[in-house]
Amino acid sequence: MKRKKLCCFLTFVMLCQPARIWAAEADVSAQTQIQDEVETKDGHSTLQSVLDVMSVGIDAVVDSSNSALIEEDTEADNEIKYNDIIEEADTVSGIADALGEPIGISSLVEADKSREEYAKAYEDAKNANWGYTNLGIADVDNNLNIRAIAAEDGKLVGKLPKDAACEVLDSDGTWAHIKSGNVEGYASCDYLITGVAAKRRAEELVSTIATVTTDTLKVRAEANTDSEVITLVPNGEQLEVVESEGEWVKVYLDDQEVYVYADYVEVDAKLNTAITMTELLYGQGVSDVRVDLCQYAKEFLGNPYVWGGTSLTKGADCSGFVLSVFKKFGVSLPHYSGSQANCGTKISLSEAKPGDLIFYGNGKRINHVAIYIGGGQVIHASSPKTGIKISNATYRTPIKIVRILQD
């Protein structure tokens, strides 16, 4: 009986061998089609196009496996299925790389998933890098210049801050064509981390962000509607998430931990992006001292926040940052935002010029200060997480605007 069973098994394997070879050839053929498809996209792979090509190979193998490829021994104690035979078939390495785990034609057959599930897997792979297909990270001490053309003398169109992310659209090894936030242009490849190294670096940098989705969001001291309203935040502003607590989300408001209602924010993982030149420029008719003061303040973008600190390089808090920037221009200020608000002349937000100070607070009590830099923007030492950064002047409700420079 054992000899008979062995003979049946060997006969079955011999019959299935051509089918196995066909399956492997179909796998290789699909790989070739995929590579051809990818290479015709101006150097940019699109996972949807890969999926379209891949589906041809999937359908062929699945259809065949339903008829000629899966044979079953008639003896109950020798149930041998085709899936057990083809599991050593070659995999399509390009797709495996896209999905982050080995997936070939044969393993797709074995997985017993629907076309919709495969499509979702590809969509998940596309978004696995926080919305970036070909992720790049700025590897600089301060800011990476983004230029209109791939040349050293190209017009500046933006800046990519240290550790900020971009989509690498194309690269010739010297210059990379990138897009980040609202900025698109060219950056030196020498200062970009890409590939696996970029993903690993991004895992250390990514933050969970709550984006406001209502016209005006109330920020409260505690997670209940009876709690004090600290400030109002406009639609589109982003707040760094500390943690979600059911109906409420705990967020940072500069260096404070506060609460917003979960229904009015969209929570997502994000990386920092580029700064446009509009955010870096000033209005017309601004005095040289104001321009110089704002330009000097921007030299320290990305430097650390340290409570009680006054060092522009090693760390400063909001008022320490303002104190040290103004000290450079011969203006002495106290080291407390509430005291700084009592210096100079009170003005309205519509009158603000680059170099004026904008104060924020908890209710009516001032606890934060920023330097207005024009174009509706401020620069400030925000929090231990973000350090010195640029924000919209109305990222929270201003309490007071003061003019220190009288020219």
Predicted confidence (pLDDT) per residue in 391-404, tens digit: 999 999 999 999 99
pLDDT recorded at residue 176? 97
pTM over 0.85: no
On the question of pLDDT at 100 being above 50, the answer is: no
pLDDT recorded at residue 354? 92
Instruction: Kindly state the percentage of the chain with pLDDT values over 70.
Output: 67
pLDDT tier, 14 (very low <50, low <70, confident <90, very high otherwise): low
Q: Residue 163 CB: number of other CB atoms within 10 A? A: 17
Tell me which long-range contacts 89-97 makes (C-beta under 8 A, separation of at least 24). 89/20, 89/23, 89/24, 89/27, 90/24, 90/27, 90/28, 90/31, 91/27, 92/27, 92/30, 92/31, 92/34, 92/54, 93/31, 94/31, 94/34, 94/35, 94/38, 94/50, 95/34, 95/50, 95/54
pLDDT recorded at residue 62? 40
Task: Kindly give the interhelix angle for 47-65 and 2-39, rounded to the nearest 10 degrees.
Answer: 160
Average pLDDT for residues 54-62, to the nearest whole number? 42
On the question of pLDDT at 44 being above 50, the answer is: no
Average pLDDT for residues 343-368, to the nearest whole number? 93
Higher-confidence residue: 370 or 4? 370
pLDDT recorded at residue 277? 75
Lowest-confidence segment of 15-19, 251-255, 261-265, 371-375 by average pLDDT: 15-19
Predicted confidence (pLDDT) per residue in 226-280, tens digit: 999 999 999 999 899 999 888 999 999 998 999 999 999 999 888 988 887 766 6
pLDDT recorded at residue 118? 63
Higher-confidence residue: 236 or 40? 236
Among residues 162, 239, 237, the alpha carbon closest in space to that of 205 is found at 162
Lowest-confidence segment of 105-114, 276-285, 352-361 by average pLDDT: 105-114
Predicted confidence (pLDDT) per residue in 206-215, tens digit: 889 999 999 9
- Residue 130's Cβ-count burial label (10 Å; 0-12, 13-18, 19+) is middle
pLDDT recorded at residue 288? 78
231 alpha carbon, distance to own chain's centre: 27
Predicted confidence (pLDDT) per residue in 160-216, tens digit: 988 999 999 999 999 999 999 989 999 999 999 999 999 999 999 888 999 999 999
Q: Round the average pLDDT of the chain to a whole number and report it.
A: 78
Task: Give the span between the Cα atoms of 333 and 356, in whole angstroms.
Answer: 13
The label of the residue with tokens 């973000």 reads 386
Predicted confidence (pLDDT) per residue in 289-338, tens digit: 888 899 899 999 989 999 999 999 999 999 999 999 999 999 999 999 99
pLDDT recorded at residue 353? 92
Task: Give the span between the Cα atoms of 124 and 22, in whole angstroms.
Answer: 30
